[in-house]
């Protein structure tokens, strides 16, 4: 593959996921990823800080998506529903990427260091959502509780979506998971 071809970042992501799946994360080097993508290590480091970030590179876009949807939710919407709308927008963004997401999650599940990185990224998303809720006038403790709950809903829905034997719409699975939570808290 020629080095001048477009989408270097996408090629690096694809090459890394293939190698992580074939060899394991720990046994894959940046040089091997770059070589598989037909690029140089220098190009790799223009796009990613380290080989872990290949799996978590969309964090800024995801944070922006979530916080924008929370900010744009109508004032009449409850905090949990504002978060729910934002999570469903995330589902729309990920739709059509289920097989990629399954492969990515398998790599993460096989490596404790990557699991830790994923938890750190989720905590960062929760903090950003809580800040967006506070900007809407939600008290700090309620904003934090709602954001953390939203992350839990997303984690459960995402796991259900990846594990489903039939193709399911992630947006619907998120909505169903949020409805399930609401039913549980209403009956408590």
107-125 mean pLDDT: 96
Q: What is the pLDDT of residues 140-161, one digit of tens each?
A: 999 999 999 999 999 999 999 9
Give how many domains the chain has, as a whole number.
2
69, pLDDT greater than 80: yes
Q: Which of 80, 94, 115, 69 is nearest to 172 (CA)?
A: 94
Q: Which residues contact 89 (CB under 8 A, 6 or more apart)?
A: 65, 66, 69
Q: Report if residue 88 sits inside a domain.
A: yes
Give the per-residue pLDDT at 1: 46
**What DSSP element (H or E) covers 154?**
helix 140-163
Q: Which of 56, 69, 65, 66 is nearest to 25 (CA)?
A: 56
Neighbours of 101 (CB within 10 A): 15
63 plus 44 within the same structural domain: no
Q: Report if residue 3 sits inside a domain.
A: no
36 plus 77 within the same structural domain: no
Q: Which whole-number Å values give the CA distances from 23 to 7, 15, 46, 50, 117, in the listed order?
A: 24, 12, 24, 17, 20
- Cα separation, 124 vs 56, in Å, equals 12
Q: Report if residue 2 sits inside a domain.
A: no
Domain of residue 64 covers 58-187
117 plus 177 within the same structural domain: yes
Q: Report if residue 87 sits inside a domain.
A: yes
Q: Whole-prediction pTM value?
A: 0.88
- Cα separation, 110 vs 92, in Å, equals 27
Q: Which whole-number Å values give the CA distances from 15 to 36, 69, 139, in the listed order?
A: 6, 32, 45
Q: Report if residue 107 sits inside a domain.
A: yes
Q: Report if residue 37 sits inside a domain.
A: yes
Of the given ranges (5-9, 39-43, 99-103, 131-135), which has the lowest mean pLDDT? 5-9
Task: Give the tokens for residue 184.
Answer: 């549980």
4, pLDDT greater than 60: no
């Amino acid at each position: 593959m020629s080095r001048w071809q477009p989408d270097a970042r996408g090629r690096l992501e694809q090459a890394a996921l293939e190698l992580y799946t074939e060899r394991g994360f720990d046994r894959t080097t940046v040089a091997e990823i770059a070589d598989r993508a037909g690029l140089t290590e220098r190009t790799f480091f223009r796009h990613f800080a380290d080989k872990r970030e290949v799996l978590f590179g969309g964090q800024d876009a995801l944070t922006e998506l979530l916080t924008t949807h929370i900010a744009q939710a109508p004032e009449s919407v409850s905090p949990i529903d504002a978060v729910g709308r934002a999570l469903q927008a995330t589902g729309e963004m990920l739709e059509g990427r289920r097989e990629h997401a399954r492969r990515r999650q398998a790599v993460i599940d096989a490596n404790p260091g990557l699991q830790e990185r994923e938890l750190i990224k989720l905590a960062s998303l929760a903090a950003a959502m809580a800040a967006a809720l506070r900007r809407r006038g939600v008290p700090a403790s309620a904003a934090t509780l709602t954001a953390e709950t939203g992350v839990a809903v997303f984690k459960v829905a995402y796991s259900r979506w990846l594990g489903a034997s039939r193709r399911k719409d992630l947006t619907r699975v998120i909505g169903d998971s949020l409805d399930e939570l609401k039913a549980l808290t209403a009956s408590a």
